[in-house]
Amino acid sequence: QVRLVESGGGSVQAGGSLRVSCAASRYIGNIYYMAWFRQAPGKEREGVAAIDPGGGGTYYADSVKGRFTISRDNAKNTLYLQMNSLKPEDTAMYYCAAGRISAGNPLGEYEYNYWGQGTQVTVSS
């Protein structure tokens, strides 16, 4: 079992930046892909960014490319998402996830077995 705990969410004005973090309860480096998903009220959860076990490969949704950066520190069992140039449409609950990719879709929700409880990000205009 892997427990994931997100932190760092909050409120920011449009154009601002936030960094959210996700701490894993045990070492998962070189084992699991990790990813960030988000869900806005009334919308389905969507994949935002993912990173391979070693940290060398990253994947982004088109809506965040060039603005968000995913990274991981396997020595600290921690995943990060740096969010710049935030827009009101980025407002959502952000969840981190970990899993082994079996179907070849790192941004696919079904690929992930372990989920955090989420951290709220609110961007005001």
Whole-number pLDDT of residue 28: 85
pLDDT digits (tens, 9 = 90+) for 45-75: 999 999 999 888 999 999 999 999 999 999 9
DSSP code, position 112:
-
Instruction: Report whether pLDDT(103) > 80.
Output: no
- 85 contacts: CB under 8 Å, gap ≥ 6: 15, 17, 67
Q: What's the average model confidence in pLDDT over 91-98? A: 98
Handedness of CA 20, 26, 30, 31 (dihedral sign): negative
pLDDT digits (tens, 9 = 90+) for 23-41: 999 998 888 999 999 999 9
With b for 16 or more beta-carbon neighbours within 10 A and e for fewer, the 71-80 pattern comes to ebebeebbbb
Confidence of residue 101 (pLDDT cuts 50, 70, 90): confident
